[in-house]
A and B are shown apart, each in its own frame.
Chain A
Amino acid sequence: MRVVVPFVQSLFFLLILCALPRLALAQATVTLSGYVRGATDQGVLPGASVAVPALNTGATADEKGFYSLPLPAGRYALVISFIGYETITREINVNRTQRISFVLPEAANELGEVIVEGSGTLEQKLQTTQMSVERLTTREAKLLPALFGEVDLLKTLQLKPGVQNGGEGTSGLFVRGGSSDQNLYLLDEAVVYNPSHLFGLFSVFNPDAVQSVDLYKGGFPAQFGGRLSSVVDVKLREGNPKKLGVSGGLGLISSRLTVEGPIVKDKGSFILSGRRTYFDVFTRQINKLNADDPEFNPIPNYYFADYNAKANYRLGPKDQIFLTGYYGRDVFGFNSANSFNFDFTWGNTVAALRWNHVFSPKLFMNTTASYTNYDYAVTNKIDQFSFNLSSRIHDIALRTDVEYQPNERHTLKFGGATKAYRFGVGRLQAGSKDGRLGFGSDVSYRGQEGALYASDNFKASDKLQLEYGLRATYFQSDSNRYVGLEPRAAVRYSLTPNMSLKASYAMMYQYVHLVTNSGASLPTDIWYPSRQSVKPQRSQQVAAGVSFLLGRGQFLLTNEVYYKWAQNQIDFRDGAQLFVNSDLDAEFLFGKGWSYGNELYLEKKTGRTTGWMGYTLAWSKRKFAPQRGTTGINNGADFFPTYDRRHNLTVVVLHRLTERLNLTGSFVYSSGAPTTLPQGRFVFQEVYGAEAVAVPIYPDRNSYRLAPYHRLDLGLVWNLKPNRLFDESDLTFSIYNTYNRRNPYFIYFDQIKDPNSDQVTGYRARQVSLFPIIPSVTYNFKF
């Protein structure tokens, strides 16, 4: 705790330091503040712009949709804009500090957002100190073609530079050379521990319920911490406070339904949203029809379902509360004729209660209490024997964030968070029905995590803007205690009105670790706390970039370079026993990782044709020296992790053909993924009886590259005319993998056998692909 005391002193020093300019600059300024909301559902619009062109100044709504804009007294035209909404201009006589909220009408149709919307958002990106951030709205994602027509926000984020997927069709994110467990997924400020369904093929975030997603790849603001590589901040919609509405969609593999409306008109609203896949309905019927066929191998049953709920209520002009809930389950099972039964369920449960209080236009506070849980349970029965294996992590958290704008040059953010964890690493019950065989094991830990932070966004001049902060973190599990100081800094310098230079630095600590021994996102991956021998992961990242506004503000060209280095990276010794192991600590190996690259990004958000192009040139490496009685990994030599890609190109185009027809397309190309293939083999006879087998010998880890991955997806959104049933409806057509490329998923070596003698005559390499060309259609409606 001795480290924390100087930190608190530093925090006060920082606050005082930031308040000093206020004394020096004290003058007759007033502050406009309030919320920016969308007209249809009255949901807040984080990132919306409130600009005063006459003064060449403005403010951006924060993640709660709240803006605060200090201005000298006078009469001004305010321009309020946000992607997907019509830009409005309001003439306002600003003579006192006051609260004014704005409501933006939605653009005429879904693609209208890219036609009507001004260039404000690109200008904001140029002007802000925050770099390495990607914002995505559901409305954008819904236009793009999707696998099976299932709109997926995380997969859309994979189309941004610096973000890799975890394999064909999966929604896992690998950001700037970080692993999949180094992303912090927040759903209305509560952590989501497993963001995917079915091997990551679908994310847990139902697009109908989500308002927006922000992905921070670097330059992390001080209010975020806990993971090394990225923060994925998902905000749910708040529901329509004006009238009751129903919307939904019928797709190839799932259907969605959303109900929203006012609780008390203009004071509070709710939204309930659910979706469920239904291929189990078909597989059950197929199994039933083939029940009498002894040769038929029953198809396993699988479905996932998730439900989102959110309600908000304005207690008064200064107070509002929000309640968020999420519950999702994947259910999988099969019963074989030989009495082998296997049932497997997993999923997240999330709840968050947020209180939003505006002390004054300059002082704003947000307090959130949250609960989150991820668990899985496996039940296996063979004859009279059974075993039950389960694992879970849950936390209860409380955090407060305060934003204070003492003057037009400083915006202070400070706050704290505390979290209590329970890690149920593994619970096993095995035995026989008659009780003669019985076995049980339960490994669980507790943990506490705390954080204090403060930051200041300092507008030193029209050209120079700085953001600096410090985050102090604390973690304890049993008698193991760790503290960390995480400095954060970012700077933006405008060379010209259309050109900015930016740079940032961030240090991050991660105290919880995902125990996974594969590149895929498996539901059986378990979270594990930092302990005596498992030190916290730590990373530092520097990034620098330049942004140009081109084509009269229609294009933004950004180039960023980054270098990230990390300590205490985690892997496992060869043959590690990760299940039912009371001494899991002994299986860990610790090493270091580093990654660097260049991200080039061109985006266009106005006109009939919009979209973006991104090209990333990157390297990611890891090194695990000999340790703990092992030779480390690769005998201590560097190696590329499976998510290393040298080149990555994405092109996304959205084109409005007519008022009602929108054509979209996306193309991705990435270098082949590193993988490990057997170099040689040897014959192993075994001790008694067993037939001789060929055992593969694996060379250095990930020393082989799969073929490059590329794919073109096309989509067509046809907005139908309003009819008796629905106010709005559309048909969305998608073609995934349009030119039917056989992209490699994995390679294996197989025996070639003589069909007559069944003798092995040779070996061959086989490549497995996951998805061929897949057309799909989805019908969406709203009334």
Chain B
Amino acid sequence: MGLYVKNILTRGMWRLLALVLLLGAVSCENLQQDIDVVIPTAPAQLVVECYLEPNQRAQLTVSETAPYLSSPIPVVPSDVTVVISGPNRQRETLLYNPGFNFITGKVYTHSSRSRLLIRPGDVFTLEAKDTKGRIVTGTAKMPATVPLDTVEFNFNDRPVQQREAIVLGRFRDPLATLDFYRFQIHRDSISQNPEVDYSIEDRLNEGKEITLGTSYEFISGDLLIVTLFHLDQPYYRFLQSTQNARNANGNPFAQPAAIQSTVQGGIGVFTILSYQRRSLVIR
């Protein structure tokens, strides 16, 4: 809720700033210009993005940071070896072997041969090492799955041809733990951009039933995939920090913040996904 409020206020502030810029632009002159900036470059760091899922092959992406004003083509090192280890002597070395996952719509650079056996509470580790001596390590623990109790939709009272539906998802927050959630709704396929994407924490709803909803934006015939992720705190913070960092570029009111990676020795995220997913057709 706090993040939502922040976004709404940011939106409001931007409108207000637009008004100020309108005042400033009374002479109809362009108040923006390209400039040269000299920013010291830092050594490139390895960037790891890895989401493990129970009974799935591990697929991850390793890339490198780049100076902001450099070529937009991502730098992908091919000399990185990744080792993923887990309970029950699960240990696999992943070599550079890029591919594309058509289900998730994601590119990966490394993939495991076997499927991982993961249960809530299991701890996995990751180590990515290249020939230059750079090492990224990370540890992730699978959160318990929080059941998505109900998913429902309701139409507004407009004429049938124009009516739109909201979607509501309900779940109960576990007692006495600090919990973080992500609520996504995809239309047709999870490889598309989600229509709805909230990340929340339970600080204000501790142990209560939580209802998350959308605006009236779905129409009859829509196939929706509703996902409730139960996140661990490091992943939630990483998500928040990437969002904050992106919002800070160009926002004079934001305080630029560092990325809070879940890995050490580089940048990125290593986590185990725990989610419940429901599909529904609006009709």
Contact = CB atoms under 8 A, between A and B. Distances in A.
Interface of A: 148, 167, 198-199, 201, 253, 279, 299-300, 302, 332, 334, 339, 342, 344, 378, 380, 382-385, 387, 389, 428, 430, 432, 436-437, 439, 441, 517-520, 522, 524, 572, 574-575, 577-583, 676-685, 687-699, 701, 704, 707, 740, 742, 745-751, 760-774
Interface string B2-41: 1101101101110111111111111101011111110111
Given A682-B65, A685-B106, A697-B65, A300 B242 contact: no
A579 B9 contact: yes
Contacts of B49: 684-685
Interface string B251-264: 11111111110000
Contacts of B15: 300, 332, 334, 342
Interface in B38-62: 39-42, 44, 47, 49, 51, 61
B249 A748 contact: yes
Contact of B66 (A680, A748, A751): A680
Contacts of B112: none
A682 B47 contact: yes
A-B pairs with lowest CB-CB distance, top 7:
A748-B250, A574-B257, A746-B252, A518-B253, A698-B256, A676-B256, A579-B5
B104 A342 contact: no
Contacts of A332: 12, 15-16, 19
B40 A696 contact: no
B168 to A, nearest CB: 7
Given A580-B2, A698-B257, A766 B69 contact: no
Contacts of A768: 31-32, 252
A575 B237 contact: yes
Contacts of B105: 688-689
Contacts of B17: 199
Interface of B: 1-3, 5-6, 8-9, 11-13, 15-27, 29, 31-37, 39-42, 44, 47, 49, 51, 61, 63-72, 74, 104-107, 156, 166, 168, 184, 186, 189-194, 197, 203-205, 211, 213, 215-216, 227, 229, 237, 240-242, 244-246, 248-260, 267-268, 273
Contacts of A382: 215
Given A378-B9, A520-B252, 7 more contacts: A148-B23, A339-B215, A383-B166, A522-B253, A582-B204, A678-B68, A745-B252
Given A690-B193, A742-B31, A774 B37 contact: no
B177 to A, nearest CB: 15
18 contacts: A198-B20, A518-B253, A518-B254, A519-B253, A575-B241, A575-B260, A579-B2, A678-B68, A688-B191, A689-B191, A690-B193, A696-B68, A696-B256, A698-B245, A767-B34, A770-B20, A770-B21, A774-B27
Given A520-B253, A698-B248, A698-B258, A763 B65 contact: no
A680 B37 contact: no
A680 B12 contact: no
A765 B5 contact: no
B194 A299 contact: no
Contacts of B267: 682, 697
Given A579-B6, A580-B5, A679-B42, A773 B27 contact: yes
A279 B39 contact: no
B217 to A, nearest CB: 9
Given A579-B2, A763-B68, A342 B8 contact: yes
Contact of B245 (A342, A695, A704): A695
Given A342-B8, A522-B13, A581-B203, A696 B19 contact: no
A691 B104 CA distance: 11
B188 to A, nearest CB: 10
Nearest to A520: B253
Contacts of B44: 680
